[in-house]
Amino acid sequence: MSFDTLIRNGTVVFPHLGVRRADVGLRDGRIAAVLAPGEPVGEAGETIDATGLHVFPGLVEPHLHFGFAEPVTEYQTETFYAAQGGVTTAVSYFLSSASYAELFTTARAECEARAHVDFAFHFSACTETHLQEMGRYVQDYGVTSFKYFMNFKGEEGRYMGLDGTDDGYFHDLLAESVRVGRPMVVCHTENIEMVARTRRRFQSEGRATLRDYCLSKPPITEAENLVRAAYLAEKTGARIYIPHVSTAMAVRDAAAWRERYDQIWLETCPHYLTHHMDMDLDSVYKANPPLRSAEDVEVLWEALADGTIDAIGADHVPRKRATKEKPIWQATQGFPGTATILPVLLDEGYHKGRLGLQRIAQIFSSVPARLFDIAETKGDIQVGHDADLTLVDLEHEHVVDPVELGSWSDYSPYEGRALKGWPVRTIVRGTTVMCDHRVVGAPGHGRYIARTR
């Protein structure tokens, strides 16, 4: 056996087999062999000594957003940022009220010319055209996941250029998804009528802290919409994915619903595992959903460990700090996070005994790959898969530096914080794109992934 690259002496984290010593041979951009440690082989163009390192399957980030600052530039900066975090595949939300038939070809070409890692798109569905063209998006563009904002009723979605919608449309969207092959419907669950009423009252009372903002969106506003989405999914036979789950209430209601309908999957985000609303924080930490209680934080960790929560994604938004440093009701929502997902899972999860390495490989690699239809080539370490690998030093402590990480955004919720456990090499289809906190791969290496149900 001969290989383009041979990774020796590492400890491999297999999502399904557990953690064990193995060598991995790469050839023509794919995994060509998984070998016993030290097994004799033929020639290798490059041998990587992974002594002291853990070899994860390439990480799959299912939740980031391009287009909130510099739409074309971000294809380069945010995939650079993803590579810094060990991510080899990024699935980004594509949001528009126009037909995607008018936008997709250009967006794909612009991203392929600039991306450091492989990528795919979720399409947001909010118009009659999106509904009518869903089958075409699945068949012709390989898009097998569609985002629906349950909160974008009336004028609520105008800041993102999206038209208002209603439950009738949502029901038809779920039914149409079943008709065209059951692509995943990603449901932002938020009862905006309840939120708006509380928000108006808080503003009239002059309440203007981050904690006030968080309290204006109580847990029931997330959980009630989740239950309604589950009910409609059950009645139509649709598959639904609930992103950025943030509350114990939503976790428990979802677990109860799964006893009668199991086509429901949950995702949470790293900031809901590390921050809560009773910390001394300012408007920089405004997100949607908002930060919750310390009790919610612990329930989310438990749900990640026991499988109630299936996956993790950053809900990464590369806005500048200046858009956040405003009065709380005017500050923008969200913040960057893709590059720090794994360090957070290792520092706060693995090193504190909350998560095992195998579970981390599942929630951040194999499960999102399966749910979003790329598991034939991504999300695992097995012969024939793309040679996407993330080499990790569990003991390496590194201070979060937004400048080094390279996002268009100029800050991080973890800025200045030392996290223990970092990726030290990111390999995408056999090519090293990041090594020792430096992105060494050229932009344009990343490829679009057309997905198939």
Encode pLDDT of 222-235 as tens digits: 999 999 999 999 99
Taking CA atoms, 110 is separated from 66, 94, 107, 144, 196, in Å, by 12, 13, 5, 21, 38
Write the DSSP symbol of residue 27: E
Is residue 144 predicted with pLDDT exceeding 70? yes
CB-CB neighbours of 252 under 10 Å: 14
Give yes or no for a contact between 186 and 125, defined as CB atoms under 8 angstroms apart. Answer: no
Instruction: Assign 86 a pLDDT band (cuts: 50, 70, 90).
Output: very high
Q: Which long-range contacts (CB under 8 A, 24 or more apart) does 71-77 make?
A: 72/110, 72/114, 73/408, 74/318, 74/408, 75/110, 75/111, 75/113, 75/114, 75/115, 76/114, 76/115, 76/116, 76/443, 77/318, 77/406, 77/407, 77/408
| Amino acid, single-letter form, for residue 396 | H
Q: What percent of the chain has a predicted confidence (pLDDT) above 90?
A: 93
CA separation for the pair 405, 316 (Å, rounded): 13
Q: What average pLDDT does range 100-112 have in this prediction?
A: 95
Distance of CA 325 to the CA centre of its chain: 25
Q: What average pLDDT does range 69-83 have in this prediction?
A: 92
Is residue 321 predicted with pLDDT exceeding 70? yes
| Residue 49, strand partner residues | 8
Is residue 258 predicted with pLDDT exceeding 90? yes
3-state secondary structure of 146: strand
Exposed e or buried b for every residue in 106-136, given b needs 16+ CB within 10 A? ebbebbbebbbbbbbbbbbbbbeebbebbee
Q: β-pairing, 145-149 with 184-188?
A: parallel
Q: What average pLDDT does range 337-350 have in this prediction?
A: 98
| Amino acid, single-letter form, for residue 418 | A
| Amino acid, single-letter form, for residue 353 | G
CA separation for the pair 188, 190 (Å, rounded): 6
The pLDDT assigned to 289 comes to 98
Phi, psi of 229 (to 5 degrees): -65, -40
Give yes or no for a contact between 18 and 34, defined as CB atoms under 8 angstroms apart. Answer: no
What are the residues whose beta carbons fall under 8 Å from the beta carbon of 201, sequence distance 6 or more? none
**Alpha helix stretches (DSSP H) within 113-218:** 128-141, 167-179, 192-204, 210-215
Q: State the fold for domain 57-371.
A: TIM Barrel (3.20.20)
Q: What average pLDDT does range 283-297 have in this prediction?
A: 98
Tokens 């008709």, residue located: 179
Is residue 154 predicted with pLDDT exceeding 80? no
Domain parsing of the chain, residue ranges? 57-371
- Per-residue pLDDT tens digits for 374-397: 999 999 999 999 999 999 999 999
Q: Which two tokens stand for residue 134?
A: 């869903």
The pLDDT assigned to 170 comes to 96
DSSP string, 364-375: IIIHHHHHTT-T
Is residue 159 predicted with pLDDT exceeding 90? no
Strands (E) located in 363-417: 389-399
Q: What percent of the chain has a predicted confidence (pLDDT) above 70?
A: 98
**Is residue 19 packed enough to be buried (19+ CB in 10 Å), middle (13-18) or exposed (0-12)?**
middle
The pLDDT assigned to 160 comes to 66
Q: What rounded mean pLDDT belongs to the chain? A: 96
Is residue 157 predicted with pLDDT exceeding 70? no
Phi, psi of 240 (to 5 degrees): -130, 150
Q: What average pLDDT does range 51-55 have in this prediction?
A: 98
CA separation for the pair 130, 124 (Å, rounded): 8
CA separation for the pair 143, 186 (Å, rounded): 13
- Rg (Cα) of the chain, in Å, rounded? 21
Q: What average pLDDT does range 56-73 have in this prediction?
A: 90
Q: Which two tokens stand for residue 159?
A: 């800041």
Phi, psi of 407 (to 5 degrees): -70, 160
More confident residue, 441 or 295: 295
